[in-house]
Amino acid sequence: MKRIALMLMVVIAFSACNNEKTTKVTTDNIEKELQTKLINAKDGDIIEIPEGRFSFTRSLSLNDVPNVTIKGAGIDKTFLSFKDQIDGAEGIRIKADGITVEGFTIEDSKGDAIKIQDSKNVVIRAINATWTEGAKETNGAYGLYPVNCENVLMENCEASYSSDAGIYIGQSRNVLMRNNLAHHNVAGIEIENCRMVEAYDNIAENNTGGFLIFDMPGLPQANGYSVKVHNNIVRDNNFKNFSPEGGMVNIIPPGTGMLVVAHNDVEIYSNTIEGYKTLGLAIVTFNFTQRPFKTENGFSPYYSKLNIYDNTFNRKGGVAGVPDITKEFGKMVNGMFPAQTQDILIDGIFNPDLEQANGNYVGDNRVCIRNNGDDIRFVNLNADGAKDLGDIKKSFDRDMEKFDCTIPSIDTEITKENLVLNKR
Amino acid sequence: MISTKIIKGIAFCAAIILIINCSTTSKSVRVDVEADPFEKLSDYHFFTGIQNNLQPNAGVLPYDLITPLFTDYAEKSRFVWMPDGTSAAYNSKEVVDFPEGAVLIKNFYYNHDAADLSKGRRIIETRLLMKRPDKWDAISYVWNDEQTEAFLEVAGDVKKVEWKDKLGTERSVNYVVPNKNQCKGCHEYKGELMPIGPKVRNLNYTFAYEDGAKNQLDKWAEVGYLTEYDNSIEHPKVAKWDDASSGSLHDRAMSYLEINCGHCHRKEGPGSVSGLFLMIEEDNPLNMGICKTPVSAGKGSGGNTYDIVPGNPDKSILVYRMETNDPGARMPEVGRSVMHEEGVALIREWITAMEGGCQKSMDEK
């Protein structure tokens, strides 16, 4: 399967070289000209946007033309402003295999900055998505938003002030995220319902929650797996939660480093997580969110097969303080341990249908938390059946022993395949 | 005497010229599925005589939908044309299976005064959906201010439109002509461009043709545009959203949601990633949004937790997104910049009538 994918990628890499045409958009009436070029684009075209700041009133879109590159003069040279947008739910909307977007900044889109859906072989490189008026509930939800894509490379990008997730990947397969910077978003970097993802050398700072790995119910692609997150810096994520109520990220308490919800098969290692005032890493089931869900589509609300090791936790960091009390989750932490930031929290709710022994799953399904520093404040809520804070206060323990184990590392073959994209 | 003869002669010549002229303008419909779109709408000869009268040429059959898609209060006049000897095949669930070369012609216009149609109308655009050999193509023509011709436009346009509604209120809208890519934002089925409206269940009612009223399916069959159709049996039929005698509140609401949302919010459409499905067949309450939490709605939630809270339209994201005019939150994403008051009223009534409620989640307590 993987070999087939690799061969396919090579074929694509070569075919993309044929007949390609580079056209430069001029600066007069750029909106209409650029959109017309995107509509009339042919396989392999490179569409260049010059240096400068350009205003758009409508979404830009590309549909079904393969191997198109949309290229600005640089992340800090070409600015597409959607401040005056009257139409379209995104700044840029793309559904096209082999798409590369590169070298520009998207400002103030009314909805998501760039959405790429149902596409294969996607490169998002050196793109900045931001909202220039700072943290506002009315900012667009997502900065970079590939969804239901396959073979995705996101690198050297930046996202800030999105009211949901800055750098997001959802319901996708075979994804590589590296060297990205997410700051002042509600969620910095988010991986949701994805399969085969590797994320490294990213920085998430000054968000409400730095790095999220979620599995959500009610979606066509349920049950993400094989998510590998390593060598990232996740720091000072204490920013206020300015998301509108209702969205999943609205539950995140400011001061959350990493948050894993309902995910299976995740490896988190060699990350530096510091300067969080509430929680360094929280691992919870979907049940814990107290939101309704159904297990159709095979969705499992439980986490399993988690391998968390060799991370550096430093709750002190730059601007940390006492746990958040603006969100229920923060209030709970603060209620249990007044003014005490916790490094690693697990809700301790286990799937009764999976074999267990000694308070953990058995074999490769285990949750392993090992070698993350000596001075770790670890808490297991044992929250199964707990109804309120009073129950949790009685049920919790700080026993890390049962999680002191190791399971096999995730195969990194996927990353190598994805590197083929990098040659584009 | 002589002068009368001359005048008569001139009149006779004029009549001849007129006839010749008429015969040239009544040329048959011209569609080339292999060619690039024509620059002008009149080049297709879909309409005879003065173009903005939208008088259909031979073979161009008007049709209507029981429940239409709302587009900023624009009126729509629809026609279908198929090449000689071809026809669409009956399909009980999806859009009828059109033959290659078929064209759906949809004119979007505003009556200057909805209470007095004699004051005329302004046609904004005419959209063609043409079935080319391998796939459907969406082609849009924008009418000039003189209303004499419509010209090909791929990048879309924005037109300020003003009109007086039935109650005499002055209204205006920045009417957005979608660009070619936006068309596919709605008209997508399994990744391919597809018509939305002409399903058997949405065509199955009586239309006032010039030669008398008739069920549209019967008419299509009669003129040879529909095959594999058996008119001796009952065929599916949606409720008319604004006619209480046509179906239950639930049926009318679902009919409205299907045509306005279901083309995208279905498993085969671009809205599938949301997990919200609004087709008439949908019988799973969670899939249709009842107590379903959004995934990526962002500010589209309007501060609410669930898509639909039974009994509580004010807490239902579905209603919020139908009411807001924020481009980043409104639904549908394309084709609506003002709220459809009557449509929202129907959905509010439907949700109000639902029993039960949703459990409170962590972030609501």
pLDDT in tens, chain A (424 residues): 344 344 334 334 434 444 567 887 777 789 999 999 999 999 999 999 999 999 999 999 999 999 999 999 999 999 999 999 998 889 999 999 999 999 999 999 999 999 999 999 999 999 999 999 999 999 999 999 999 999 999 999 999 999 999 999 999 999 999 999 999 999 999 999 999 999 999 999 999 999 999 999 888 888 899 999 999 999 999 999 999 888 889 999 999 999 999 999 999 999 999 999 999 999 999 999 888 887 767 899 999 999 999 999 999 865 557 899 999 999 999 999 998 999 999 999 999 999 999 999 999 999 999 999 989 999 999 999 888 899 999 999 999 999 999 999 998 776 666 666 665 6
Contact B298 A140 (CB under 8 A): yes
- State the pairing for strand pair A22-24/A46-48: parallel
Mutation choice for B interface testing from A33, A34, A59, A214 by most B CBs within 10 A:
A59
Contacts of B6 (CB under 8 A, 6+ apart): none
Contact B296 A147 (CB under 8 A): yes
pLDDT of residue A420: 62
Interface of A with B in 304-333 (CB under 8 A): 327-329
pLDDT tens by residue, B233-252: 999 999 999 999 999 999 99
Helix, strand, or coil (residue B162):
strand
Q: Does A246 lie at the interface with B, CB-CB under 8 angstroms? A: yes
Tell whether the torsion through CA atoms of A146, A147, A153 and A159 is positive or negative: positive
pLDDT of residue B18: 43
Contact A147 B273 (CB under 8 A): yes
In chain A, residues with a C-beta closer than 8 Å to the C-beta of B301 are: 244-247
Strand partners, A129: A106, A159
- What is the helix (H) or strand (E) element at residue B216, kind and residue range? helix B216-222
Mutation choice for B interface testing from A32, A42, A61, A333 by most B CBs within 10 A:
A61
CA distances from A401 to A79, A309, A349, A404, B245 (A): 52, 14, 17, 5, 68
Contacts of A238 (CB under 8 A, 6+ apart): A206, A208, A254, A255, A275, A276, A277, A278, A319, A320, A321, A324
Interface of B with A in 138-177 (CB under 8 A): 154-156, 158, 174, 176
What ipTM does this complex have?
A: 0.75
Among the listed residues A47, A68, A55, the one whose alpha carbon sits nearest the alpha carbon of residue A106: A55
**φ, ψ for residue B76 (rounded to 5)?**
-130, 135
Interface of B with A in 96-135 (CB under 8 A): none
- Specify burial of residue A224 (Cβ count, 10 A radius: 0-12, 13-18, 19+): buried
Q: Does A242 lie at the interface with B, CB-CB under 8 angstroms? A: no
Tokens of A411: 């195969």
How much is the pTM?
Answer: 0.85
Strand partners, A153: A123, A176
Place of tokens 């994918």: A5
Tokens of A179: 């060297």
Nearest 5°: CA angle at A276, between A170 and A303? Answer: 40
What's at B181, amino acid-wise? N
Among the listed residues A241, A233, A246, A308, the one whose alpha carbon sits nearest the alpha carbon of residue A273: A233
Contact A88 B333 (CB under 8 A): yes
Give dist(CA A187, CA A250) in Å, integer. Answer: 10
Contact A32 B296 (CB under 8 A): no
Among the listed residues A136, A134, A98, A129, the one whose alpha carbon sits nearest the alpha carbon of residue A115: A129
pLDDT tens by residue, B268-308: 888 888 889 999 989 989 899 999 888 777 778 888 889 99
- Average pLDDT of the residues in B338-361: 92
pLDDT tens by residue, B194-207: 999 999 999 999 99
pLDDT of residue B16: 44
Are B104 and B77 in contact by the 8 Å Cβ rule? The answer is: no
pLDDT tens by residue, B159-186: 999 999 999 999 999 999 999 888 887 7
What's at B350, amino acid-wise? W
Contact B154 A39 (CB under 8 A): yes
- What is the helix (H) or strand (E) element at residue B12, kind and residue range? helix B2-25
Which of B155, B158, B329 has the CB atom closest to A36's CB atom? B155
Which of B298, B303, B364 has the CB atom closest to A142's CB atom? B298
Tokens of B128: 């063609």
Which of B181, B300, B364 has the CB atom closest to A61's CB atom? B181
Q: Does B17 lie at the interface with A, CB-CB under 8 angstroms? A: no
Give dist(CA A2, CA A19) in Å, integer. Answer: 29
Chain pair A-B, CB pairs under 8 angstroms = 170
Q: Does A289 lie at the interface with B, CB-CB under 8 angstroms? A: yes
Contact A93 B158 (CB under 8 A): no
Place of tokens 């000072």: A236
Give dist(CA A170, CA A116) in Å, integer. Answer: 10
Q: Does A39 lie at the interface with B, CB-CB under 8 angstroms? A: yes
In chain A, residues with a C-beta closer than 8 Å to the C-beta of B284 are: 296
Q: How far B110 CA lies from chain A's nearest CA (Å)?
A: 20
Q: How far A61 CA lies from chain B's nearest CA (Å)?
A: 6
Q: Does A147 lie at the interface with B, CB-CB under 8 angstroms? A: yes
Q: What is the DSSP string of A396-412?
A: -B---GGG----PPPP-
pLDDT tens by residue, B8-47: 545 444 444 444 444 444 589 999 999 999 999 999 999 9
In chain B, residues with a C-beta closer than 8 Å to the C-beta of A110 are: 326-328
Give dist(CA A228, CA A74) in Å, integer. Answer: 30
Tokens of A374: 């000596």
Q: What is the DSSP string of A214-246?
A: E--SSSSS---EEEEEES-EEE-------PPTT
Among the listed residues B38, B131, B41, the one whose alpha carbon sits nearest the alpha carbon of residue B81: B131
Peptide bond preceding A66 in cis form (omega within 30 of 0): no
What's at B323, amino acid-wise? E
| Percent residues over pLDDT 90 in chain B | 72
What's at A150, amino acid-wise? E
Q: Does A27 lie at the interface with B, CB-CB under 8 angstroms? A: no
pLDDT of residue A319: 59
Higher pLDDT, B345 or B22: B345
Q: For residue A398, is it left (φ>0), alpha (ψ between -120 and 50) or beta?
A: alpha
CA A247 to chain centroid, in Å, comes to: 15
